[in-house]
Amino acid sequence: MGTGPPCAACNVREHTFCADLRDDEIARLQLITSRYRFAPKQLIFREGDAAHHLFNVLEGAVKLHKSLADGRRQVVGFLFPGDFMGLVRNAQYAYSAEAVTTVAVCGFERARFEKLMSEFAGMEKRLLAKCGDELIAAHEQMLLLGRKSAFEKIASFLLALSGRAVKRGEPDNPVFLPMTRSDIADYLGLTTETVSRTFSELRRKGVIAPDEDGSVRLVARAALNEIASVT
Amino acid sequence: MGTGPPCAACNVREHTFCADLRDDEIARLQLITSRYRFAPKQLIFREGDAAHHLFNVLEGAVKLHKSLADGRRQVVGFLFPGDFMGLVRNAQYAYSAEAVTTVAVCGFERARFEKLMSEFAGMEKRLLAKCGDELIAAHEQMLLLGRKSAFEKIASFLLALSGRAVKRGEPDNPVFLPMTRSDIADYLGLTTETVSRTFSELRRKGVIAPDEDGSVRLVARAALNEIASVT
DNA sequence: CGGTTCATTGATTCGCGTCAATGCAGGTGG
DNA sequence: CCACCTGCATTGACGCGAATCAATGAACCG
């Protein structure tokens, strides 16, 4: 399956928890690391599976989701290069992960990873910080899900994606939307129809405009901010 | 304000991150610790405030919330004895905390706490585990907010509170509900009226029954589980 | 005892979900 | 190269679940 990872040539390293590991630490981490690729829609792991690996996303987009017995789904996150996945409880994955686009990931053997964690100074601290940031984002998403209207949800979503692109060092403006309307709906607690209608309405109002490859151009960011009900 | 904390006599210690600190570590932690008390409805800290302290809840119930400019609120958590609070970004609190009942807390000076964290073996790991658990709970709450009906939300809420009481070593059955209908509504993404109507309906169906002091007795737990759409 | 806060219940409204039809690309096989 | 299929997006008509608006009751308190 996996082939050896050239950490030295990793171009997302600065955005991951690996960023400030020393060279000798990177070398040891590399020993328990493999690369994997996934095709669009391919399942990376399923909620409840035994968690053998933890992952950094290198290329592409991933969606994380949970579901109810009757099939209703909630997307709990979209991941892009540099993002970490593999939240675990009782050695089992806490959500399912699915490739949205073609995806390349860096997989660490969990058991050995957790040992290394104790040894490498500052690694736990860094992961703790990352976890805290995710928790804050989760709270923000609760506010969105519990209290925002469809319009506010879509506007917030576009602005959030734009902001995250900037953090990865990508342009803020044409926002790349590789996921389906249905994925967006499951992320925002809406239906595909409502998502579609809302996009259309924003287009009609000249706030956004379609761009190449399913990207969206934010024409009037100020208007979006206002619609999003920014705190 | 704060008075010295008798950690030795702490009766929630086993449920906090302090649980497996050594005696000498506890002694050092105690040096940066004070006790505080808050009356019902009193603000403990506000979102955006400079975070000088982190807290363990010793007694009572606390609610954590965020709000939008127009006053809409989202409760992101209810805390009980043994729970930790003080999620921080850029040295500022990420949410507001308010006493629901009379509350006693244990406050640690943040700056010094973070230093101690690096020194005490296993403390970061323990906090990381706690943070991961909270993240999982947050994802569960996203599923609830985005995809569950009012009935399912209320049923899930009651079962979750019951489950948490057990973890604190309290009886699972009469569930204590110290918060107002409005707080519950803001937690579940509903209105007070809908919360009230749903409780009434569950009472009429014989699934729950009022108990003393605003507690609720879960009469038919199986029915609740079914209503809650457990995964 | 009047005032305040919170809970409950009913009547009505409305945002979004549901149901249904159409369109549009991309892929496949004849 | 084109007919056909399949998956996804869009749009419209309609219905429903929860919000809104409104009134009353219950508990608490200075």
Q: What are the tens digits of pLDDT across the range A147-197?
A: 999 999 999 999 999 999 999 999 999 999 999 999 999 999 999 999 999
CB pairs under 8 A between A and B: 123
pLDDT band at A230 (very low <50, low <70, confident <90, very high): confident
pLDDT top residue among B179 and B21: B179
Q: Report the C-alpha gap between B25 and B20 in whole angstroms.
A: 10
Q: Do A101 and A60 touch, CB atoms closer than 8 A?
A: yes
Q: Using CA coordinates, name the residue in chain B closest to A153.
A: B146
- The answer to whether residue B199 scores a pLDDT higher than 50 is yes
Scanning every strand, the nucleotide with its C1' closest to B153's CA turns out to be D18
Q: Do A159 and A228 touch, CB atoms closer than 8 A?
A: yes
Which residues in chain B are contacts of A136 at CB distance < 8 A?
87, 89, 94
DSSP B50: B
Q: Do B15 and B76 touch, CB atoms closer than 8 A?
A: no
Which residues in chain B are contacts of A87 at CB distance < 8 A?
132, 135-136, 139
Q: Report the C-alpha gap between A140 and B66 in whole angstroms.
A: 8
Is A215 within 7 A of strand D by CB distance? no
- Please report the pLDDT score of residue B3 as a whole number: 61
Which strands form B73-79's sheet, in the order they lie side by side? B43-45, B96-99, B62-67, B73-79
Number of CB atoms found within 10 A of residue A14's CB: 12
Q: Do B78 and B187 touch, CB atoms closer than 8 A?
A: yes
As ranges, strand C nucleotides with an atom below 7 A of a protein CB are 6-11, 15-20
- The answer to whether residue A2 scores a pLDDT higher than 60 is no
Scanning every strand, the nucleotide with its C1' closest to B192's CA turns out to be C7
Q: What residues does B174 pair with on adjacent strands?
A: B217
Mean pLDDT, all residues of chain A: 94
Measuring CA to CA, how many Å separate B76 from each of A72, B39, B87, B192? 22, 21, 12, 17
Mean pLDDT, all residues of chain B: 94
pLDDT band at A106 (very low <50, low <70, confident <90, very high): very high
Would an 8 Å CB–CB cutoff place B91 in contact with chain A? Answer: no
- The answer to whether residue B164 scores a pLDDT higher than 90 is yes
Would an 8 Å CB–CB cutoff place B118 in contact with chain A? Answer: yes
Interface test with A, best of B70, B75, B131, B157 (most A CBs within 10 A): B131
Q: What residues does B176 pair with on adjacent strands?
A: B215
Which residues in chain B are contacts of A139 at CB distance < 8 A?
66, 74, 76, 87, 94-95, 138
Residue in A74, A131, A147 nearest the CB of B135 = A131
